[in-house]
Amino acid sequence: MKKREIGNSGMYVSELGLGCMSFPDNLEEVKNIVDAALHAGINFFDTADLYAAGKNESLVGEALKGRRDEIILATKVGNRMIQGEDGWSWDASKAYIMEAVKDSLRRLGTDYIDLYQLHGGTMEDDVTETIEAFEALKKEGVIRQYGISSIRPNVIERFLTNSSAVSVMMQYSLLDRRPEEWFPIIHEAGASVITRGTLAKGLLTDEGLTRVKNMDGFVAYDSAGLKKTVGELHETANDMHALALAFNLKEDVVASALIGASSKDQLLDSIVAYEKEVDQSELASIVPLTEAHQYEQHRL
């Protein structure tokens, strides 16, 4: 599997990254997924302290025991669990980040995190304080690099402008092209995009035509528009899954396209699709079938 550098970080990640949020609540099943990913050459694993209230980090840590030097490990911070409740509150303060990282390290079973990401962000945050926390952790060697996971252009621009962040995680796919408007800004900042939602909730896989029947729109598509677009995509594509991955990876600013997997078979489907050669003329012909929507809120 090919690798790309995240920004100017010196960290090279596999073009397909494994988003761990949808892992099953079973360690042996998780180990099977992780083993298959490593065997295929996937070296980038992304989780968050929010997922399953921290248990996801613990599962990832257990599954990767003894393999830490083989992988680039990413997690996220900012969503503070409320003691005794199911919900969480937003906390991007330096004090919280400096404490939360210790819990993530313990759950992950490691003494450093390769990529530590702010899991959201608002314009009300004290961005200077947030960045100070990441820079302090980087200086201490607790994290190697940091970035942000957000779809808010104004938050992203402020964070990049005032920091040495190397990555921006954004929902991006053939059916959600909103981030394209901001790719030049991210590139100019010396950072890379990590895509999530790469397969648009399965709409861009073989199950797409079935899944779309039960969906009442997606992003800026209304129900009718979504069904029409998904239908045209599947009618035109030789392999929708392969085209969806190739679409994201055609952008130089994209370092890795995250795929989720709740089973080994689901992961293998994406690996097979990635390895399939995609004709660039087919890719070029399918893009006009979709719309390049723009973010309506949180503008610069």
In the chain, % of residues over pLDDT 70: 98
Is 44 a member of any domain?
yes
122 with 153: CB under 8 angstroms? no
- Residues 6 or more apart whose CB falls under 8 angstroms from that of 35 comprise none
DSSP code of 41? T
Q: What is the mean pLDDT of each run of 10 residues along the chain (300 residues)?
A: 96 97 94 96 94 88 93 89 69 92 96 94 88 97 96 91 96 96 94 97 95 94 96 95 97 97 96 95 94 83
253 with 4: CB under 8 angstroms? no
Is 197 a member of any domain?
yes
51 is catalytic: yes
pLDDT, position 125: 84
CA–CA gap between residue 197 and residue 210 (Å, rounded): 18
- Residues 6 or more apart whose CB falls under 8 angstroms from that of 118 comprise 76, 77, 78, 92, 130, 134, 146, 147, 148, 149, 150, 159
What is the pTM assigned to this prediction? Answer: 0.94
CA–CA gap between residue 254 and residue 297 (Å, rounded): 23
Locate the DSSP E strands across 176-267: 192-196, 254-260
Is 216 a member of any domain?
no
pLDDT, position 94: 95
pLDDT, position 87: 72
Structure tokens at 37: 């990913």
Is 85 a member of any domain?
yes
Q: What is the Cα 190 distance to its own chain's centre?
A: 18
How far is CA 137 from each of CA 71, 114, 163, 165, rounded to the nearest angstrom? 20, 11, 13, 13
pLDDT, position 80: 72
Domain total of the chain: 1
Is 287 a member of any domain?
no
Q: Please report, for the domain that includes residue 22, its CATH number.
A: 3.20.20.100
Q: Which of 12, 51, 96, 116 is catalytic?
A: 51
241 with 205: CB under 8 angstroms? yes
pLDDT, position 51: 79
Per-residue model confidence as pLDDT tens digits over 140-183: 999 999 999 998 889 999 999 999 999 999 999 999 999 999 99
Is 212 a member of any domain?
no
Range(s) of the domain holding residue 37: 3-201+241-280
114 with 73: CB under 8 angstroms? yes
Is 209 a member of any domain?
no
Is 285 a member of any domain?
no
